[in-house]
Amino acid sequence: MKDFILPGRDMGTPARSGAPVSLTIDGFAITVPSGTSVMRAAAEAGIRIPKLCATDSLEPIGACRLCAVEIEGQRGTPASCTTPVAPGMVVHTQTDTLARLRRGVMELTISDHPLDCLTCAANGDCELQDMAGAVGLRAVRFGPGANHFAQRAAEAPNPEWRPKDASNPYFTYDPAKCIVCMRCVRACEEVQGTFALTIDGRGFASRVVAGQDVPFMASDCVSCGACVQACPTATLQENSVIEIGTPERSIITTCAYCGVGCSFEAQMRGDTLVRMVPSKEGKANRGHSCVKGRFAWGYAQHQDRILRPMVREAITDAWREVSWDEAIGFAAARLKAIRAESGPDALGVITSSRCTNEETFLVQKLARAVFGTNNTDTCARVCHSPTGYGLKQTFGTSAGTQDFDSVEQVDCAVVIGANPTDGHPVFASRLRRRLRQGASLIVIDPRRIDLLETPHMGEGLHLPLRPGTNVAVLTALAHVIVTEGLYDTAFIRARCDWDEFADYMEFAARPEHSPEAVEVLSGVPAAAIRAAARAYAAAPNGAIYYGLGVTEHSQGSTTVMAIANLAMMTGNIGRPGVGVNPLRGQNNVQGSCDMGSFPHELPGYRHVSDPAARGIFESAWGVTLSPEPGLRIPNMLDAAVGGQFRAIYIQGEDILQSDPDTRHVAAGLAAMDCVIVHDLFLNETAAFAHVFLPGSTFLEKDGTFTNAERRINRVRRVMAPKNGFADWQVTQLLANAMGAGWAYTHPAQVMDEIAATTPGFAGVNYAMLEERGSVQWPCNDAAPDGSPIMHVDGFVRGRGRFIRTEYIATEERSGPRFPLLLTTGRVLSQYNVGAQTRRTENVAWHAEDVLEIHPHDAEVRGVKHGDFVRLTSRAGETSLRAEVTERVAPGVVYTTFHHPGTQANVVTTDNSDWATNCPEYKVTAVQVSASNGPSEWQTDYATLVAASRRIAPAAE
């Protein structure tokens, strides 16, 4: 194991980018960008000026005065953190006056601090200790007096003393240790954008409080941990550090939750993970993270993890724990027998967006080269497959156009069908920062999402459309842009096909696409559509960010095309601050698509019918590949019910819980003769499995994830796999048991194979990632440093293509039996099917799925807040609790899908996107009625699951 330690030195204040300025500090000449603080300039010269309230992730406030310096020609002792450099400045950082001054400051601070350093959780990792040492503090002359740390003073309770706040499961606030440096308050404002903390009182009485002086858990705090990271003392401290002690080394790795792809330092003591600290060098997150990445990794050690392989003859049997050899042999024998009987197309695989690129590549290789079929699909089918199709048709490649840094230059952000504060929290924090700087915001979503409540933001415009009418609303935006002449003629002439634009212009200008006509369909006031179109078209930089509320519809692909059309016609492509940005759900959705997980595409999005592309893999792998597209997940299940599809290897996915129309999925799985589930836990799908292969967590393996900005980030093994093998090794065991003869000894070799066969990855290898940290594809001879922004000089496909986007209503319509429209989403603290997050303290925030319903709809049904209600669609029914809220419009209800007991997907239907079969999760016609308990399906299902989880005692 190679430790990867970066110099985590705190430069005191944030970097600036002005023209160079030269000055002298303690006799050293140094040149820095104008706007840089004297403190940072000194740090660049290697001189560390003592400081308490300053840190380089926050703007300086000059509160503690410890960082005072002397500047020739200036009177007094200015604070170096708030004093910008000037040309020719001569600075002294250590003089007798300064030394005396600093000791005085420290003495005052320490006099109100409990001196229990030896038993303090921050012992050895405390900036107050460091500074006491740095300034040469040797005595504290003030006698005992008024303070915040003693529980009792002069035989009476100390009114200034407050008990610890341990309401948050991950960190503790101990007011006794606070030095009121305000770093936490500023971190919550500047970095996270939540504004949960304030300083209450003045002078000696001032203290940090959450909300209106309530426990952290009762405040707006979202537990991102930015304040804990910023705190220089043990006042805000991770509970894991309190329990374990300080870490002794750190390894850089990548979060395995969402598509932001935050970089973290996994801080270790031995092989125990002490804490995850977001890395400042991480280009996606710039030192920030959310509650999941920072805190919710306890599932890796959870007792529910299955560590030994298991098999059973039939799914009605109890599981039998066996050796790896026996499990792999059992699986391979079944697969071979089925292939001999029914041909290779009776077999298939599902790759995971949670696994690494290398693992995904091997799983699809297993299907294509070893099984001999193109039956490979991925969970991206159910989220972003329309992005792949839509962007490939219009731009020529299936990927977001920007990096996350681009958000710093956005003037108008359009967020469509996404809820970034919950789904992509770190991106949301970065966007909120930009909104506070004055960028405008347009939200197109049925719900009033939290982004619209951003404190101190510029304008916000909400277009609350009826679920399923995205295409109508986006085409109406195009209508306004073309009829009012707001399009960018020069860009279109230079970069797109003008005749196609002329066709689209004629199409969009038709009266049925006017905002007034669309208002009737979508419920969005025409004036709001017009205002949004004008704002987006007029902004110097307009950027579109979208999520699953765009893709998970019967017209998902058409909506993606409509988005691409809008960006092209306004010239918002090819430079920082603009673009089309799909917010990917899981950590490696982008990567799993890039790696050839789809049944019709080889790695690098090359169609299987392309003989040249097949030829590359045929010669690399020494096999003949099928030129025919394989089956998609829903088609596999259909074919299974029909008896033609019989065996599946599922890595890291829980299709029974995550895919729509649960009954149909269950029927498909039950019809198969060999279901191999490779996962951390006995997930819901495993109820139908014959072989269970234990998986490894991201902490236990090497590899790479590719985030939503096409950034390839390293995942590094920080501890040995508890189950014995990394996931790529398990796939290799299975392949070899089928005669593949693979001999990979490290994922780096898999990356080399990817680079050798896939043009966009030609320049990627582990040595390069080690050196640069990360790179954005395409990375090859044409772009040796990777590509932060795509389509800069021309579209990947040549000329950008405009495609007509006619609105076609979904077949899923509300009617007398099912008068409401259900739409689904997720919350910040939980992750998808929740298999991981439900096994952490994150359940403190979201213990169950609830149904959001408008007060009006609730009242006519006699439903009150907290009541158990029955949710019925034509596919099925389930029960859950109601939350009555105006966040959803009348006629719309909303729920999440994090808990298997709720099984929201029992009610979603098998409707899907016309081009990609991405399921229509976001629209289901439903009825809601009062209920007194779980539905029949829930009870039956609970019984089935309990039965299928039985594990027979191991035979010796």
Partner 1 sequence: MTDDKLARMANQIAAFFVTQPGVAAEGVASHINDNWSPPMRAALLAHIAAGGAGLAPAVIEAASRLRPPPHSAAQT
How far is residue 575 from each of residues 125, 567, 867, measured CA to CA in Å?
Answer: 42, 12, 51
Cβ 915 to partner 1, closest distance in Å?
Answer: 7
Should residue 222 be labelled a site residue for ligand SF4 when binding is judged by CB under 6 A? yes
Among 188, 277, 383, 888, binds ligand SF4 (CB under 6 A): 188
Cβ 199 to ligand FES, closest distance in Å?
Answer: 15
Should residue 45 be labelled a site residue for ligand SF4 when binding is judged by CB under 6 A? no
> Which 58-97 positions form the footprint of ligand FES (CB under 6 A)?
60, 62-67, 79, 81
CB neighbours of residue 740 within 10 Å: 20
Return the range that interacts with partner 1 (CB under 8 A); candidates 403-411, 639-647, 671-679, 773-781: 639-647
List beta partners, residue 586.
258
- The residue among 713, 700, 581 whose CA lies nearest residue 262 is 713
Among 60, 261, 348, 660, binds ligand SF4 (CB under 6 A): 261
Please give the torsion angle defined by the CA atoms of residues 358, 362, 365 and 370, in that order, rounded to the nearest 10 degrees. 160
Q: Phi then psi for 260, rounded to 5 degrees?
A: -65, -40
Should residue 825 be labelled a site residue for ligand SF4 when binding is judged by CB under 6 A? no
Among 149, 257, 617, 761, binds ligand SF4 (CB under 6 A): 257
**Residue number, 105 or 665, with CB nearest to ligand FES:** 105
The per-residue DSSP string of 856-898 comes to HHHHHTT--TT-EEEEE-SS-EEEEEEEE-TTSPTTEEEEE--
Q: Which does 421 bind (CB under 5 to 8 A by kind): partner 1, ligand FES, ligand SF4, none?
A: none
**In residues, how long is the chain?**
956
Among 635, 840, 895, 905, binds partner 1 (CB under 8 A): 635
Extract the tokens encoding 488.
Answer: 């960018």
Extract the tokens encoding 111.
Answer: 């006099």
**Residue number, 63 or 844, with CB nearest to ligand FES:** 63
Asked if 922 and 468 touch (Cβ cutoff 8 Å), the reply is yes
Should residue 105 be labelled a site residue for ligand FES when binding is judged by CB under 6 A? no
Q: Which does 64 bind (CB under 5 to 8 A by kind): ligand FES, ligand SF4, partner 1, none?
A: ligand FES
Q: Which does 429 bind (CB under 5 to 8 A by kind): ligand SF4, ligand FES, partner 1, none?
A: none
- The residue among 390, 378, 773 whose CA lies nearest residue 603 is 378
- Local structure of residue 118 (DSSP, 8 states): G
**Residue number, 277 or 505, with CB nearest to ligand SF4:** 277
Instruction: Give the list of residues 6+ apart from residue 453 with CB closer than 8 angstroms, or none.
Output: none
Number of residues that bind ligand SF4 (CB under 6 A): 40
Should residue 260 be labelled a site residue for ligand FES when binding is judged by CB under 6 A? no
Q: Which does 503 bind (CB under 5 to 8 A by kind): ligand FES, partner 1, ligand SF4, none?
A: partner 1
Should residue 220 be labelled a site residue for partner 1 when binding is judged by CB under 8 A? no
**Residue number, 81 or 691, with CB nearest to ligand FES:** 81
CB neighbours of residue 647 within 10 Å: 25
**Residue number, 50 or 577, with CB nearest to ligand FES:** 50
**Residue number, 271 or 341, with CB nearest to partner 1:** 341
CA–CA gap between residue 693 and residue 798 (Å, rounded): 45
**Half-sphere exposure (CA, 13 Å, Cβ side) for 669?**
27
Should residue 120 be labelled a site residue for ligand SF4 when binding is judged by CB under 6 A? no
How far is residue 376 from each of residues 12, 352, 846, measured CA to CA in Å?
Answer: 51, 11, 34
**Residue number, 13 or 836, with CB nearest to ligand FES:** 13
Among 317, 512, 628, 859, binds partner 1 (CB under 8 A): 628
- The residue among 230, 210, 232 whose CA lies nearest residue 220 is 210
CA–CA gap between residue 336 and residue 328 (Å, rounded): 12
Asked if 899 and 848 touch (Cβ cutoff 8 Å), the reply is yes
Should residue 613 be labelled a site residue for ligand SF4 when binding is judged by CB under 6 A? no
Should residue 503 be labelled a site residue for partner 1 when binding is judged by CB under 8 A? yes
Return the range that interacts with partner 1 (CB under 8 A); candidates 179-187, 431-439, 529-537, 625-633: 625-633
Among 333, 670, 756, 808, binds partner 1 (CB under 8 A): 808
Distance of CA 328 to the CA centre of its chain: 33
Among 131, 132, 197, 740, binds ligand SF4 (CB under 6 A): 197
Cβ 289 to ligand SF4, closest distance in Å?
Answer: 4
Should residue 131 be labelled a site residue for ligand FES when binding is judged by CB under 6 A? no
Cβ 666 to partner 1, closest distance in Å?
Answer: 17
- The residue among 860, 855, 711 whose CA lies nearest residue 790 is 711
Instruction: Give the list of residues 6+ apart from residue 615 with CB closer than 8 angstroms, or none.
Output: none
**Residue number, 293 or 549, with CB nearest to ligand SF4:** 293
Cβ density class 361-370: b for 16+ within 10 Å, e for less: bbbbbbbbbb
Asked if 554 and 914 touch (Cβ cutoff 8 Å), the reply is yes
Among 356, 394, 397, 554, binds partner 1 (CB under 8 A): 554
Should residue 134 be labelled a site residue for ligand FES when binding is judged by CB under 6 A? no
> Which 37-56 positions form the footprint of ligand FES (CB under 6 A)?
51-54
CA–CA gap between residue 780 and residue 774 (Å, rounded): 14
Asked if 695 and 680 touch (Cβ cutoff 8 Å), the reply is yes
Residue 377, amino acid:
D
Q: Which does 915 bind (CB under 5 to 8 A by kind): ligand SF4, ligand FES, partner 1, none?
A: partner 1
Asked if 552 and 912 touch (Cβ cutoff 8 Å), the reply is no
Q: Which does 226 bind (CB under 5 to 8 A by kind): partner 1, ligand SF4, ligand FES, none?
A: ligand SF4
Should residue 252 be labelled a site residue for ligand SF4 when binding is judged by CB under 6 A? no
Q: Which does 644 bind (CB under 5 to 8 A by kind): ligand SF4, ligand FES, partner 1, none?
A: partner 1
Among 105, 126, 131, 290, binds ligand SF4 (CB under 6 A): 290
CB neighbours of residue 138 within 10 Å: 8
For residue 70, give the 3-state DSSP assignment: strand
Should residue 638 be labelled a site residue for partner 1 when binding is judged by CB under 8 A? yes
Among 262, 266, 473, 562, binds ligand SF4 (CB under 6 A): 262
CA–CA gap between residue 186 and residue 788 (Å, rounded): 30
Asked if 37 and 82 touch (Cβ cutoff 8 Å), the reply is yes
Q: Which does 917 bind (CB under 5 to 8 A by kind): ligand SF4, partner 1, ligand FES, none?
A: partner 1
> Which 370-399 positions form the footprint of partner 1 (CB under 8 A)?
374-375
CA–CA gap between residue 664 and residue 637 (Å, rounded): 8
Cβ 254 to ligand SF4, closest distance in Å?
Answer: 8
On the 0-12 / 13-18 / 19+ scale of CB atoms within 10 A, 626 is: middle
CA–CA gap between residue 228 and residue 197 (Å, rounded): 12
> Which 291-330 positions form the footprint of ligand SF4 (CB under 6 A)?
292-293
How far is residue 86 from each of residues 34, 46, 199, 544, 915, measured CA to CA in Å?
Answer: 8, 19, 33, 40, 60
CA–CA gap between residue 777 and residue 756 (Å, rounded): 14
Residues 425-444: x/- map of binding to ligand SF4 (CB under 6 A)? xx------------------
- The residue among 83, 98, 88 whose CA lies nearest residue 39 is 83
**Residue number, 265 or 661, with CB nearest to ligand SF4:** 265
Should residue 729 be labelled a site residue for ligand SF4 when binding is judged by CB under 6 A? no
Q: Which residues bind partner 1 (CB under 8 A)?
A: 343, 345, 374-375, 503, 554, 558, 599-600, 607, 609, 628-631, 635, 638-639, 642, 644, 803-804, 806, 808, 910, 912, 914-917
Task: Kindly list the residues in this chain that would bind ligand SF4 in the complex (CB under 6 A).
Answer: 178-184, 187-188, 192, 194, 196-197, 208, 221-227, 230-233, 235-236, 255, 257-258, 260-262, 285, 289-290, 292-293, 425-426
Give the binding site for ligand FES (CB under 6 A).
51-54, 60, 62-67, 79, 81
